[in-house]
Structure 1
Amino acid sequence: MGALSKRAAGAALINANIGLFACPICQQAMDVYDQGRLTCTTNHSFDIAKQGYVNMLTHSAASKYSKDLFESRKTIIESGLYDPLEEKIAELIGQAKTVLDTGCGEGSHLARIMSQIGGIGVGIDIAKEGIVTAARHYPEQIWCVGDLAKSPFAKDSFDVILNILSPANYEEFKRLLTASGCVVKVVPQSGYLQQLRAQLYADSAQETYSNEQTVERFRESFSHVSVERLTYTVPLSSILVPALREMTPMGWHKAQQEEVNVSEITIDVDILVGRV
């Protein structure tokens, strides 16, 4: 027998973890049918794409993020720039069996973290372009186009929810967590990508950054919170500068031909861990 198609392989992986899913329309339980559809008990149906991901959006959604942005993000993450961050997250979450990455983009962070800890990872993003890229490159995890405001997941399903440099939905996070689960949120600190910011935002208010309000809101949302700062600076090959610029909103307002010279880059983030 030949290898499974990507659709069949994705359907099999979803089916093996079907308890994680609930219909985003009626919240009923779901099943996989014909290796191509995810259907609830009241017959709401969502197609599993040929690339192996499932689209569970209940409304149209325009994304400002392009395929090129997600490919650039993958290039930067696979260069090792975020290795210390991913290793720290893997250390914090230990042997979690179910991990949801919210705003996962093209899935590189989740795939690399899950390769260190095992278990099953599920990535969700409203941007179809990101999920298509994730499914193409990381078929070992489950990928879902969706919106947590109309959640396609069952209550009490995930041991860990990752929220890496992405907007949050804390009430939904708390609904989805298991009793002993935690949310790991990564937010920029003042030195994050400071070399790039210094050139693209020179002499403007955006040259500096504060995450104080974001951290305070996280503290208000969870009963038990820890905050750990991670800061490091590494050399950056000139070949990677265009990709770094492409993947961050900092570069979008500048003409692409405008020269940016960065030989090293700083990752400076707070890692917030919250428990209900």
Structure 2
Amino acid sequence: MGALSKRAAGAALMDENITLFACPICQESIGVFEQGRLVCSSNHSFDIAKQGYINMLTHGAISKYSKELFESRKAVIDSGIYDLVEDKIGELIANAETVLDTGCGEGSHLARIMAKKQGIGIGIDIAKEGILAAARHYPEQIWCVGDLAKSPFARSSFDAILNILSPANYEEFKRLLTQNGCVVKVVPQSGYLHELRAQLYADSTKESYSNEQIVARFKDSFADVSVERITYTVPLATELVPALLEMTPMGWHKKEEANIHLEEITIDVDVLVGRV
């Protein structure tokens, strides 16, 4: 018997974890139909793509993120510069059996974290190009094009929700958490990529950064919050500099004549953990 197609393999993985899903239109339960669609009890239907991911968007969406950006993001993450951050997240969610990565992009963080632990990971992003890349590179997890404002997941489904350098929807996070679940949010600290910021924004107000408002909002949203700062500097290969510029919004506004030279880069983040 031949290997399953990517669509069939994705459908099988979704079927094994179908209780995590709900129809984003009516929030009714949903099931896999003929290995090609998810169909709810009200007959709303969502196609499983041939690449093995599911598109559960209920509206059109235009993403500013390109295929090239996600390729660059994967190259930078695969280089290991975020290893210590991923290791910390892995420690924090060691006992989580169901993990949702919100704003997962091309899925590298989630895949690398889940490779070291038991359980199932689901990544969701509104950007189809990111989910396409995730499904292509990491078929061991479930990948979903979707919008948490019209959530395709069932209440109280996830032991851990990850939100790594990405916008948040705290009310939806709380709806989706299991009773003892947690949200892990990673936000930049003042020194994050400061070598790049110094060259792009020299002598401007953008050269400095504060996450004070983001952290305050997180603390307002959860009853039990802890914050841990992780900061370190690592060498950066010359060939990764263009990829770093491509993946970060800071690089999108670079003037053509700007000559960026980086031999090392600083990762400086706060890891916030929230429980309801």
The bucket for the TM-score relative to the shorter chain is: over 0.9
1:111-145 Cα distance to aligned partner (Å, 9 max, x none): 00001112000000000000000000000000000
Query: Distance between the aligned counterparts of 1:222 and 1:194, measured in 2?
Result: 30
Residue 16 of structure 1 aligns with an amino acid whose one-letter code is E
TM-score, structure 1 as length reference: 0.99
Q: Any unmatched runs of 5+ in structure 2? A: none
Q: Which runs of 4+ in 1 moved over 3 A?
A: none
Query: Distance between the aligned counterparts of 1:36 and 1:248, measured in 2?
Result: 35
Show the counterpart of 1:41: 41
Show the counterpart of 1:270: 270
Show the counterpart of 1:102: 102
CA 1:243/1:256 → structure 2, altered by over 3 Å: closer, same or farther?
A: farther
**CA offset at residue 79 of structure 1?**
0.5
Show the counterpart of 1:223: 223
Pairs aligned (count): 276
Matches within 5 A, 1:2-151: 2-151=2-151
Q: Any unmatched runs of 5+ in structure 1? A: none
Show the counterpart of 1:184: 184
TM-score, structure 2 as length reference: 0.99
**Residue 203 of structure 1 pairs with residue 203 of structure 2:** yes
Identical aligned pairs, as a percentage?
76
**CA offset at residue 95 of structure 1?**
2.1
Show the counterpart of 2:174: 174
Query: Distance between the aligned counterparts of 1:258 and 1:5, measured in 2?
Result: 46
Query: Distance between the aligned counterparts of 1:68 and 1:257, measured in 2?
Result: 21
Residue 153 of structure 2 aligns with an amino acid whose one-letter code is F
CA 1:257/1:117 → structure 2, altered by over 3 Å: closer, same or farther?
A: farther
Secondary structure in structure 1 of the residue aligned to 2:116: helix
Q: CA RMSD in A?
A: 0.7
1:229-259 Cα distance to aligned partner (Å, 9 max, x none): 0000001110110101100000111135531
Matches within 5 A, 1:226-237: 226-237=226-237
1:3-44 Cα distance to aligned partner (Å, 9 max, x none): 000000000000000000000000000000111100000000
Query: Distance between the aligned counterparts of 1:93 and 1:134, measured in 2?
Result: 21
CA 1:256/1:138 → structure 2, altered by over 3 Å: closer, same or farther?
A: farther
Query: Distance between the aligned counterparts of 2:257 and 2:166, measured in 1?
Result: 28
Residue 179 of structure 1 aligns with an amino acid whose one-letter code is Q
Query: Distance between the aligned counterparts of 1:8 and 1:59, measured in 2?
Result: 25
Query: Distance between the aligned counterparts of 1:106 and 1:270, measured in 2?
Result: 22
Query: Distance between the aligned counterparts of 1:139 and 1:103, measured in 2?
Result: 18
Residue 266 of structure 2 aligns with an amino acid whose one-letter code is T
Query: Distance between the aligned counterparts of 2:250 and 2:241, measured in 1?
Result: 13
Show the counterpart of 1:249: 249
